[in-house]
């Protein structure tokens, strides 16, 4: 546990760590996402990464496509990647999206080539976790298993997971794999809650009850797959940030602001706390490029909102609780 005392004058705040099931990874429940770091200079990126480490974040999320590889490159250059700093980090990257071809690609050749490129750009010998970025309908599970086997036995990847997968897609892949899939990265935040909506209004004739993901949240909990919540502050598919948007989300922002006042933290921390309060023990994948916002987010790592507060926020986002 890392004390953030001093940052929060009204009380002690701790960054929470979780054990990723079926691994030896003890991971911060806040992840630094690196999709946007190519907006920064090397100096700025270094400060952001150092701030993350100082706050106790030990988990860093990448993908081969972020900035067409620039984000991974900038990351390793900015911190002058070396064995010492590498050992302080859990590094995850993703593959399987081919913007160059306009398709998804889970072929053995692509997975292996992609990981080789990732390792080169990140200047490291291994990834702690590799995720398949988005389900490829042309996936042949045996082929993926062969690729994973080669990557694992050569020491290039320790653990495997997926992103944006539903339960049946996970089972189909898992069937041929000698390794347990340990992560599913999914979009989740106060203004994007399909994962819980349908369960709350089960069997009702309202849009909210449409089950859009075959109950992926419950599936992951049942199978000890850690969920990582991406785009925690966005609404829709990259339609914008709900925090501070009083025009579109007046009730939500007013509710969050009141709780921020009560806990003596920023509204950003409350938005994070709303996710970490869920008993699935999710990790929150931040996308900010600002040091202060990153620190504010960490303050939400281990705030335990009351049950009533959690529901108040859910309802203020426009959801029904029958």
Ligand X SMILES: NC(=O)c1ccc[n+]([C@@H]2O[C@H](COP(=O)([O-])OP(=O)(O)OC[C@H]3O[C@@H](n4cnc5c(N)ncnc54)[C@H](OP(=O)(O)O)[C@@H]3O)[C@@H](O)[C@H]2O)c1
Please give the residue ranges that form the binding site for ligand X (CB under 6 A): 33-36, 61, 163-164, 185, 230-234, 241, 243-244, 268, 285-290, 293
The number of beta carbons lying within 10 Å of the beta carbon of residue 210 is 10
DSSP secondary structure of 256-309: HHHHHHHHTS-HHHHHHHHHHTSTT--EEEE----HHHHHHHHTTTT----HHH
Judge contact between 286 and 30, C-beta under 8 A: yes
Catalytic: 17? Answer: no
User: Please, what is the minimum distance in Å from the beta carbon of residue 57 to ligand X?
Assistant: 13
DSSP reduced 3-state for 253? helix
Q: Considering beta carbons, is residue 84 or 247 the nearer one to ligand X?
A: 247
Return the closest-CA partner of residue 185 out of 97, 53, 98. Answer: 97
The number of beta carbons lying within 10 Å of the beta carbon of residue 151 is 21
**Phi and psi at residue 24, in whole multiples of 5°?**
-105, 20
User: Please, what is the minimum distance in Å from the beta carbon of residue 241 to ligand X?
Assistant: 4
The Cα–Cα gap between 252 and 259 comes to 11
User: Please, what is the minimum distance in Å from the beta carbon of residue 266 to ligand X?
Assistant: 8
Tokens encoding 158: 């320790």
Q: Considering beta carbons, is residue 244 or 250 the nearer one to ligand X?
A: 244
Return the closest-CA partner of residue 218 out of 198, 189, 241, 192. Answer: 198
- Residue reference for tokens 């993926």: 144
Q: Considering beta carbons, is residue 185 or 198 the nearer one to ligand X?
A: 185
User: Please, what is the minimum distance in Å from the beta carbon of residue 318 to ligand X?
Assistant: 18
Q: Considering beta carbons, is residue 17 or 242 the nearer one to ligand X?
A: 242
- CA 83, distance to chain mean position in Å, is 25
User: Please, what is the minimum distance in Å from the beta carbon of residue 239 to ligand X?
Assistant: 11
Judge contact between 257 and 264, C-beta under 8 A: no
Single out the catalytic residue among 17, 66, 263, 314.
Answer: 66
Judge contact between 252 and 267, C-beta under 8 A: no
User: Please, what is the minimum distance in Å from the beta carbon of residue 76 to ligand X?
Assistant: 16
Q: β-strand 17-19 against 127-132: which pairing, if any?
A: unpaired
For the annotated catalytic residues, the residue numbers are 66
């Amino acid at each position: 546990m890392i004390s953030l005392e001093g940052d929060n004058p009204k009380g002690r705040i701790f960054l929470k760590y979780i054990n990723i099931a079926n691994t030896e990874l003890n991971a911060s429940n806040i992840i630094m996402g690196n999709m946007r770091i190519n907006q920064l200079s090397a100096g700025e990126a270094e400060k952001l990464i150092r701030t993350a480490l100082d706050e106790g974040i030990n988990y860093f999320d990448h993908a081969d496509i972020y900035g067409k590889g620039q984000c991974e490159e900038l990351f390793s250059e900015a911190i002058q990647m070396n064995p010492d700093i590498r050992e302080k980090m859990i590094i995850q990257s993703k593959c399987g999206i081919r913007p160059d071809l306009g398709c998804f690609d889970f072929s053995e050749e692509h997975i292996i080539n992609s990981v080789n490129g990732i390792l080169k750009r990140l200047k490291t010998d291994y990834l702690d976790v590799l995720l398949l970025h988005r389900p490829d309908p042309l996936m042949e599970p045996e082929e993926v298993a062969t690729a994973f086997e080669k990557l694992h036995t050569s020491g290039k990847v320790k653990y495997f997971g997926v992103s944006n997968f539903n339960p049946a897609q996970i089972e189909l892949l898992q069937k041929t794999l000698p390794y347990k899939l340990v992560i599913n990265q999914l979009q989740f935040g106060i203004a994007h809650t399909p994962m819980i909506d349908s369960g709350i209004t089960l069997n009702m004739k309202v849009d909210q009850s449409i089950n859009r993901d075959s109950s992926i949240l419950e599936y992951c909990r049942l199978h000890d797959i850690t969920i990582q919540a991406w785009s925690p502050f966005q609404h829709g598919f990259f339609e914008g940030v709900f925090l501070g948007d009083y025009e579109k989300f007046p009730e939500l922002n007013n509710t969050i602001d009141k709780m921020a006042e009560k806990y003596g933290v920023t509204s950003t921390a409350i938005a994070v706390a709303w996710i970490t309060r869920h008993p699935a023990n999710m990790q929150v994948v931040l996308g900010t490029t600002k040091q202060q916002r990153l620190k504010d987010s960490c303050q939400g790592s281990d705030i335990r909102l009351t049950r009533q507060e959690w529901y108040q926020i859910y309802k203020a986002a426009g959801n029904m609780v029958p």
